[in-house]
Amino acid sequence: MADHALPEQDDESLWGILLDYIDEGTVVPVVGRDLLTVTTPANGTPAHQVPLYSLIAAELAKDLLRSDVEAATLSGPNPLGAVASEYIVRGGNPLRIYSVLPKILKRIDEARDKAVPESLRKLAEIEPFRVFVTSTFDPLLADCVGAIRRVAPSVVSYSPGAATALADFKIGATRTETLELLRGSPPVVVHILGKLSNTPNYVVTEEDAFEFVYRLQETSPEGLFDLLSQMKLLIVGCRFPSWLVRFFLRAARRKRLLQSALDRTDFVVDPAAAEDAALVQFLRNFKTQTEIFTNYTPMEFVDQLHRRWLERRGPTTGVVADFITPCSIFISYASQDGEAAERVAGGIGAASLPVWRDRSRLASGDDWARKIERNIDAAAAFVPILSRSTLAAGQREFRREWRRAIHVKGGLPENEPFIYPLVIDDVPRDSPEIDGDLRALNWDGVEADGSLPAAFIDRLRKAYRRAQLRGIRG
């Protein structure tokens, strides 16, 4: 990989490089507080998005300082650290901070809307991400990955007194071997600066961060850093101090930055970083193979990343039947209608909705049937394509899919749709070969030019949003 100039390199030219690495499965996102938001309140009053750590800081100020916090502090790079530092400067006991924070997080969690934050949802939907690193101590990222991937992630954390979990990472001798191991395991979420507890084993203030870095050199959790040395980092929304950025990049390389391999490029998403002349000069002069995206806020960047990844993957690519991104629109069709199903999937994907269909139609057996059932269970909506091809006699797999979708609908409130039949030709509505439960539903038909009706897309959007809010039926 050729070295790229900093900061003159335009963001647009970096996208292809980053997406290629993501396709390889060699990118590890490092997620910071700027991506963490919650919707509050959830008691029927108008809801609004609030940065989680600004909310935590405001609550900590009320509990410990007995006062409100200035708006400028809450919008700063580390509002919680600012409040905690003020409490310490006033003579407060630092240990109280760590014993109070779990209670504050519990209060916030009970009051907030349980919908998955959009930025975290979009990161979790990018399937090649197998390891997520968070610089925060809250459980929001792990909860989101579990909800979207439909499997509980393996959650580990580093703290100066207990680094053994990170040393237990099992990686291969080569990057290829490591990727094979990760593909066969649940996703991993790593709290690199500690996880919430009642003791001071996680980072709140910059002094905490300094202590963690100091102790990292002593404890050296080899497993984690051996893993990161094989991967590329995508640091988003962290707003680390300049000294911590440099340390983190060095620790993940396992060798001097001047000796970094040419196929190693890390990415930092931080518009403010471009204004740090000393940091940019350091990254450029010492050939650190680090690129900075400067034209996006962290949330704008994740929106772009998700959109570009979906476009590259293609709306109909879908993952093989053993994985569906939860909240996707499941398309069911007869094998003779494959081209029509591709056009329908393209229309749904063009509306920025995740879509899935079984493209091969070749698999069979109990294992395949269970995977298809699991994918229907995880879908936000089920779209059976109805045509004269679905009038075929005998056993057909699409009829099994119909009946699974009818089973799923049976567990939902009567007034909540799940099945959205779509007609692509002149199939008679009263055809006995079509299940009576489907005949009883409202049918949409494609437009004369083959496009999807706007009202049909709107109903799918509403179904998608409902699925997000309810967390995919438990």
Tens-digit pLDDT string for the chain (474 aa) = 333 333 444 567 789 889 989 988 999 999 999 999 988 765 555 567 889 999 999 999 999 998 887 877 777 888 999 999 999 999 999 999 999 999 999 999 888 877 788 899 999 989 899 999 999 999 999 999 888 887 788 888 887 766 555 656 677 778 888 888 887 678 899 998 999 999 888 999 989 988 888 877 776 666 777 888 888 899 998 887 777 877 777 777 766 666 555 556 788 887 776 667 777 777 766 656 788 887 888 999 999 999 999 888 765 433 333 456 667 899 999 988 988 998 998 889 888 788 888 755 444 454 567 778 888 988 899 999 999 999 988 888 899 999 999 999 998 888 889 999 999 999 999 999 999 999 999 999 999 888 999 999 999 999 988 887 765 444
Q: Strand order in 444-445's β-sheet?
A: 355-356, 329-332, 381-386, 422-423, 444-445
**Longest CA–CA separation in the chain, Å:** 81
Residue 160: predicted pLDDT = 73
Query: Tokens 């600004």 correspond to what residue?
Result: 54
Instruction: Write down the domain spans for the chain.
Output: 11-36+117-305, 37-111, 315-470
CA distances from 196 to 6, 60, 123, 143, 204 (A): 37, 15, 22, 14, 10
Q: What is the pLDDT at residue 221?
A: 67
CB contact set of 311 (below 8 Å; sequence gap of 6+):
none
The Cα 233–Cα 270 span in angstroms is 14
Write down the H helix ranges in 275-424.
277-285, 298-313, 338-350, 366-377, 397-410
Residue 203 C-alpha from the chain's centroid = 23
Report the chain's C-alpha Rg in angstroms.
25
pLDDT at position 286: 62
CA distance 250 to 320: 37
C-alpha angle 337/374/388, rounded to 5°? 20
Bridge partners of 269? 236, 293
315-470 maps to which CATH number? 3.40.50.10140
Three-state secondary structure call for residue 338: helix
Burial (CB count <10 Å: 0-12, 13-18, 19+), residue 267? buried
Separation between Cα atoms, residue 35 and residue 456, nearest integer Å:
32
Residue 76 CA: distances (Å) to CA of 80, 360, 443: 9, 51, 52
Q: What pLDDT does 359 receive?
A: 58
Phi, psi of 471 (to 5 degrees): 75, 30
The highest-level CATH class for domain 11-36+117-305 is alpha beta
SS3 label, residue 265? coil
Residue 112, classed as helix, strand or coil, is coil
